[in-house]
């Protein structure tokens, strides 16, 4: 082997390594961007779900109050109907 063949082999190896490094960095940037996008979508959906849970919890806390008010209204209606029938 002469020196020219060695230089060509070394330059070929360096070019191959450089190409692999460049491609890896580009691929890494693309993957990172996709992950960031997916994370942003996930965070948005999670926030929306948390808001729905808060609304549901508020509704669940208010429902017993509404049920009690309906009972009172029904008793009052029954009383009024009895008074009307008694006349």
Separation CA 74–CA 78 (nearest Å): 6
For the segment 50-66, the average pLDDT, to the nearest whole number, is 91
From the list 4, 26, 25, 7, the residue with the least C-alpha distance to 15 is: 7
pTM flag (> 0.75): no
Question: pLDDT at position 61, please?
Answer: 86
How do residues 67-78 score in pLDDT, each as one tens digit?
A: 999 999 999 999
The backbone torsions φ and ψ at residue 2, rounded to the nearest 5 degrees and listed phi first, read -100, 175
Has residue 45 got a pLDDT over 80?
yes
Sorting pLDDT into bands at 50, 70 and 90, what band is 1? low
For the segment 56-72, the average pLDDT, to the nearest whole number, is 91
For the segment 23-52, the average pLDDT, to the nearest whole number, is 97
């Amino acid at each position: 082997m002469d020196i020219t063949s060695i230089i060509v082999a070394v330059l070929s190896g360096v070019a191959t390594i450089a190409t692999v490094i460049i491609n890896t960095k580009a691929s890494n940037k693309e993957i990172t961007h996709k992950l960031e996008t997916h994370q942003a979508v996930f965070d948005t959906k999670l926030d929306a779900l948390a808001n729905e849970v808060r609304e549901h919890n508020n509704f669940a806390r208010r429902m017993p109050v509404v049920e009690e008010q309906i009972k009172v209204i029904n008793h009052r209606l029954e009383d009024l109907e009895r008074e009307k029938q008694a006349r």
